Amino acid sequence: MYIFAWMFISNAFSLNVYDIHKVGHRPVLLIEGDYVYLGGELGLVKLDKTSFNELKFISVQNVWAVLVDDDSNLLIVCSSFGDGESHCHKLTRNFKEKDITSERFMIDLNTPPLYLKCRLSDGIGIMIAAPYIKSFTYGKYSKTIYSLQMGSLDEFSFSSNTVYHLIYNGNMNRLEMRYKAGFVHQQFIYFLYNVYLNDQFIEAKLGKMCASHHKYSSNGFRTSYEDIPLVCYHDNVNYTKIEDGLVLNGTIIVSFSNLESGVICSFSIKELAKRFRDSRMNILRCNQKTGWKNRSFKPDPFSAWNSKTCIHLKNQTCAESMVCNVIKGDFCNTVLYYTIEGVHPTVLSAVYNTTGTVLRHLAKVDSNDMMLIAGTDTGQIVKLNISSIESYTVDVEYEITGSHNIVDLQTQNGTIYILTDSKLQRMAVDDCAFDTDCTGLKSCFNHIRSSMYFCTLALIYIRSVLRNMF
């Protein structure tokens, strides 16, 4: 009876935990269909989503991105050769190499890169953002440093005319962008990032650009990139450092930190659209002695004081039809301007706050727009109820076992996937660890999937063991 009870507990535990030592450090996670893909510095592994049984492993050095090309049903795997040189290539679901590989490029892996898929005008695209990117052309690396690059997965060429680059300013004290989150909403790509100078935090920003509209000319790519600083306010303190963010039900939800405390602010996308419009109109206003000069990215070749390409704020008029689109809020058809940086922050009051912990990760729960899952810097998983747009409340908290360094947090079909630097763990959103009726069993069964069946059997076996002992 002792052995059977222990086998039951061990089996339930193993079904919900996978030791990631095989893929090594800097793990990345993709949950797709019936499978889980894990990459790291030692390779890429494919797991069964239900049992966590290992189905396939390949040795690939320094995997830092895993996505799926929905059009071709192929995996996109980006990896580095160890000296900073990277490339992306396509694999079948069984890890067979396809003859589609991107050009080489240099990327800084000291800060995890941000990568996501987007729908371009001519197909599926991939966006890669990192503090440091250099393209490889004509047998050598370019001197130009990029912060972001976006291109088509069909061509897979990061230096061709189909690629958009967000280029750093060429100054000695170059600001550095450390990207935290990105998502696609309607025709826009949004990304949240923190700005650093000489490793000192400066401010947090929300960047936005059009995914479906970018054109190339002799002057380079022109798209509708713009950004605005974000601040979350609580109890007379401005929280300015972004930890994570997502889009949910027309709202951008962002986790901020300040020392050992954290807050969440909720930004309406409709309201943000107005802020972006006002920011750009103010930057492009007429009657300026000099044109607007970007602080971080390559400056716009058009100057705001040009009478044909500026906006008269008082009566909201302009001479160039493309510029007039700014007044209408139609940034995706404003090819005269790009890389415009906002300076006036959008400040909102917090909808949720913590003391002594920081919310490092946020995840939404399938189609439930009234619930969030958050992961803290102390290894806790928090279920938050969105009682209203102005107030979030804690439902329950649960502490994971092992390492408390949560690397990623994702949900799918009612299951929470928690990736730490040593293990991949899984639990249901309504797990008995979140069930007050099973509170006494948390320490033993915190990895068992939610169901009354498991809780009941666990109680039966433990009761039997205790009866035989006494």
State how many domains the chain has.
2
181 and 77 within one domain: no
Expressed as residue numbers, the domain containing 57 is 5-106
Averaged over successive runs of 10 residues, the pLDDT of the chain (470 residues) comes to 45 70 94 94 95 94 91 88 82 85 82 85 78 75 76 63 64 78 89 91 91 51 77 94 94 93 94 89 76 68 66 85 79 68 88 91 86 92 83 80 87 93 90 48 38 48 56
Q: Do both 79 and 182 map to the same domain?
A: no
User: Rounded to an integer, what distance in angstroms lies between the CA atom of residue 91 and that of residue 88?
Assistant: 10
Tell me how far apart the alpha carbons of residues 69 and 74 are, in angstroms, rounded to a whole number.
5
CA 349 to chain centre: 23
pLDDT attached to residue 335: 60
Structure tokens at 378: 């102390």
Q: How far apart are CA 44 and CA 27, in angstroms?
A: 9
Flag whether 114 is in a domain: no
Could you tell me if residue 20 is inside a domain? yes
Asked if residue 409 is part of any domain, the answer here is no
Domain boundary residue, one of 106, 121, 136: 106
* Sheet containing 415-420: order of strands: 17-19, 423-428, 415-420, 406-412
DSSP secondary structure of 72-87: TTEEEEEEE-SSSEEE
Q: Which residues contact 421 (CB under 8 A, 6 or more apart)?
A: 25, 27, 403, 405, 407
Instruction: Indicate the SS3 state at residue 19.
Output: strand
- Give a yes or no: residue 300 inside a domain: yes
Q: What angle do CA 135, 140, 146 make, to 5 degrees?
A: 25
| pLDDT value, residue 48 | 95
Residues 6+ apart with CB under 8 A from 469: none
User: Which CATH number fits the domain that encloses residue 301?
Assistant: 2.130.10.10
For the entire predicted model, the pTM comes to 0.84
Which residues touch 440 (CB under 8 Å, ≥6 apart)? none
Q: Is residue 267 part of a domain?
A: yes
Residue-level pLDDT at 443: 36
Of 47, 75, 106, the last residue of a domain is 106
pLDDT of residue 333: 65
In a domain, residue 74? The reply is yes
For 382-422, the pLDDT digits (tens) are: 999 987 767 788 877 788 877 789 999 999 988 999 999 99
For residues 438 and 398, give the distance between their C-alpha atoms in angstroms, rounded to a whole number: 12
Write down which residue in 356, 384, 419 finishes a domain.
356
Whether residue 45 lies inside any domain: the answer is: yes
